[in-house]
Amino acid sequence: MIEERFAADCLGAVEEAVRRASADEIMPRFRALTADQVAEKNGPHDLVTVADRGAEAHLTAALTALLPGSVVVGEEGVAADPGRYAELAGDRPVWIVDPIDGTRTFVRGDEGFCTLVALAHHGELLASWTYAPVRDQMATALRGGGARLDGVPLHAGSPAEGAPLEIAASYPHHTTPATKRALLRLRTEDAGAEVLRTRPCAGSAGLEYLAIARGTLDATVFGWENAWDHAAGLLLVAEAGGAHATLAGTPFRLAGGNALPFITARDARTLARIRRVLLGEGPG
């Protein structure tokens, strides 16, 4: 079984691969990028750098060597060959990789970016790694084995009774009208401004998930479903005691086709409150 291969020493081997990719490919270019090392993929909101591509190539070689027969579904690989995304619905173990989650933040020279890696098989998340290199923070999660930040167990907990909910929400430029309407409900008076405090999602989805797992953010609401942005964080939050669901109330599917937006929260009660607002069923 794949799960049995990932005892503590194997988790450490993946962690080392992530740290090495960052040290070799990402950090030497942090605040040192030249104009010709940054390009647009699908407009100014979707950037790629030589560091993204170098780190993903590095991780692809290292991770598939650790688990023979596995494949990588990475942001840059899928950009080059969209057909690779179908591996998420296949039979082989899949490494889901975002070499730099928060590329625009990285390009600006800000520290709020990370590297995300998750292992999945038959659509089920098995393990994940979230590494913020500037802060030298490593969060890991193992299915059924809990979540940790730098070796210390994480517990999402629950918001204080009666306290306003702190939510990070995305407002993507390209989404369906229905998803946009649901997201905008978080901004209306009907949402209950006194109980929901919503801010835009920061540049890195992975770091927002880490904040939920640490109990410093109550929830996120995302309007896009690229697996590399969400896989690592979803397992991290789940193993810290949190919950997630799509707008339809179903679990997030890595292969896509989810009812958006979807919610991740510190606990199931918080998730249900936010989902009611998104559905237009009343204040949070």
* Mean model confidence pLDDT for the chain: 91
Helices (H), 140-226: 177-184, 205-214
**CATH code of the region 2-153:** 3.30.540.10
Model pLDDT for residues 1-19, shown as the tens digit of each residue: 555 455 456 889 999 999 9
Model pLDDT for residues 54-78, shown as the tens digit of each residue: 999 999 999 999 999 999 999 999 9
Interhelix angle 8-21/50-66, rounded to 10 degrees, is 160
| 139-163 mean pLDDT | 95
Instruction: Tell me if 119 sits within 8 A of 94, measured CB to CB.
Output: yes
Residue 41 CA to residue 236 CA, distance in Å, equals 29
Q: Which residue intervals of the chain bear CATH 3.30.540.10?
A: 2-153
The pLDDT, as a whole number, for residue 27 is 97
Residue 244 CA to residue 250 CA, distance in Å, equals 9
**Of 184, 243, 232, 186, the residue nearest 210 (C-alpha):** 232
| 179-183 mean pLDDT | 90
Q: Which residue intervals of the chain bear CATH 3.40.190.80?
A: 165-278
With cut-offs at 50, 70 and 90, classify the pLDDT of residue 202. Answer: confident
| DSSP reduced 3-state for 125 | strand
Look at the block and give the residue holding tokens 């990588």: 72
pTM score: 0.94
| 79-102 mean pLDDT | 96
The answer regarding whether domain 165-278 maps to CATH 1.10.10.10 reads: no
**The residue type at 110:** D
